[in-house]
Amino acid sequence: MEYLLLVISAVLVNNILLAQYLGNCPFLGVSKQMSTALGMGTAVIFTMTLASIITWGVHKWILMPLEIEYLQTLSFILVIASLVQFVEIFMKKSMDTLYQALGIFLPLITTNCAVLGVALLCIKNEYSFLKMVVFSFASGLGFALALVVFAGLRERYVISNIPKPLQGTAIGLITAGFMSLAFFGFMGLT
């Protein structure tokens, strides 16, 4: 039950994009088409879970025993950057179809603040191992959900007649605002 609540909270109520404001650059950048949004979403779910597991281990077994927690930011970003590189090489060698689908999104994820943000949140909220895995996976799922829904909306509104100064990012942000408002409706769930 506790885990179910955690999932609902991470996917809908505290959606990482729309309520916690993490990962907005790819949100606006790759949401022009449904297919790229799906690819990016999947890549983020995958990397986010993996990155949180590894950074959690780094924090627990390296930073804490040595009492150098202040190096958290520096070590986490290095771990994430090298993890992304490693995943990219590994995928290219052994899972070619997956690489074709997700490959181009992987380098972008290094500077996606959602990945680092979730890793930091897991530490800040002092989650146990299992909770951390569930939380990071659900956060990735929430990211993918918001991205795909937004891409769907965006595919619709590009064909409508938008005043010139509003075109592009401006209308995108306003649409995201209303989506965020809609997600507020889930507040009562937890």
Contact residues: another protein, CB under 8 A: 18-25, 28, 70-74, 76-78, 81, 110-113, 116-117, 120-121, 124, 164-167, 169-174, 176-178, 180-181, 184
d(CA 170, CA 159): 16
Q: Name the residue nearer to another protein (CB basis): 19 or 30.
A: 19
Calculate the alpha carbon distances from 167 to 34, 79, 141, 177, 178 in Å.
Answer: 19, 38, 29, 16, 16
Q: Per the structure block, which two tokens stand in for 40?
A: 């990016």
The residue among 95 and 187 lying less far from another protein, judged by its C-beta, is: 187
Residue 183 to residue 190: CA distance in whole angstroms: 13
Nearest to another protein of 100, 167 (CB atom)? 167
Q: How far apart are the first and last CA of the chain?
A: 11
Q: How far is the CB of 1 from another protein (least distance, A)?
A: 27
Residue 78 CB, nearest distance to another protein (Å)? 7
CB-count exposure of residue 74 (10 Å: 0-12, 13-18, 19+): exposed
Residue 97 Cβ vs another protein, minimum distance, rounded to whole Å? 27
Least Å distance, CB 79 to another protein, is 11
For residues 42 and 72, which CB has a smaller minimum distance to another protein in the complex?
72
